[in-house]
Amino acid sequence: MKKDLDKTRVEEALKLLGELIESRRIGPFSLIVCGGTALLVSGLRAEATKDVDILAYMGKKGEIMAADTIPEDLQKAAWGVSAQMGLDPHWLNAGPSSIVNPKLPNLGLPDGFISRLSEKSYGRMLKVFFIGRLDQIYFKLYASVDRGGPTYHLDDLMRLNPTHEELLDASRWSMSQDPSPSYLQTLIQMLKAINHGTVAEKL
């Protein structure tokens, strides 16, 4: 049975990944990470997660680059971490990378996204940028509605204790990700279900 990642094991896995990257003389790599890992590292969640979600890469000039795939050298280093720590082989993945859309303004990301990133180095060749609380609200709301029902994403969203204005801004941003009438309908239903009907009335 593959082991989950609590805060200590997340830090251990990323440190080991940085060491493998350096010893194999690959990289450097700068990852923008969201999801449960970012919540754990920032202290916004206590429950363990199964993986580290790469949202995008940070370029040398501070530009955001899409993470459609994981470079082969990085993937092999991640497999090395998996073998040593008993993690799922896909513990490092680019699952949520579709949020980054070059066709949308600001790549489809919330305004001020880069300014809210928290940077941490794991050796000389690996930097990880963790998304901030406000962007967690944006992404968790979108994921909750996209799944169409109660999930751990909704649990995470409620733990973040979003304000009325934060939920309204997050709702409007999420509608740029999916402008379909069915998405809006599900969004309104969810907002009412979590006692934020006044937000739904403004959409």
pLDDT tens track for 40-99: 998 888 788 989 999 999 999 999 999 988 999 999 999 999 999 999 999 999 988 889
Average pLDDT over residues 102-121: 92
Average pLDDT over residues 186-197: 95
For residue 86, with 0-12 CB atoms within 10 Å meaning exposed, 13-18 middle and 19 or more buried, which class applies?
Answer: exposed
Tell whether 94 and 138 lie within a shared domain. Answer: no
| pTM of the full structure | 0.92
Using the 3D structure, point to which of 107, 131, 155 is the last residue of a domain.
131
Using the 3D structure, point to which of 131, 152, 167 is the last residue of a domain.
131
CA-nearest of 105, 186, 181 to 142 is 186
Q: Which domain range does residue 31 map to?
A: 7-131
Tell whether 107 and 22 lie within a shared domain. Answer: yes
Q: Where are the beta strands (DSSP E) in 102-152?
A: 118-121, 126-130
Tell whether 118 and 142 lie within a shared domain. Answer: no
**162 within a domain of the structure (yes/no):** yes
**66 within a domain of the structure (yes/no):** yes
pLDDT at 45: 82
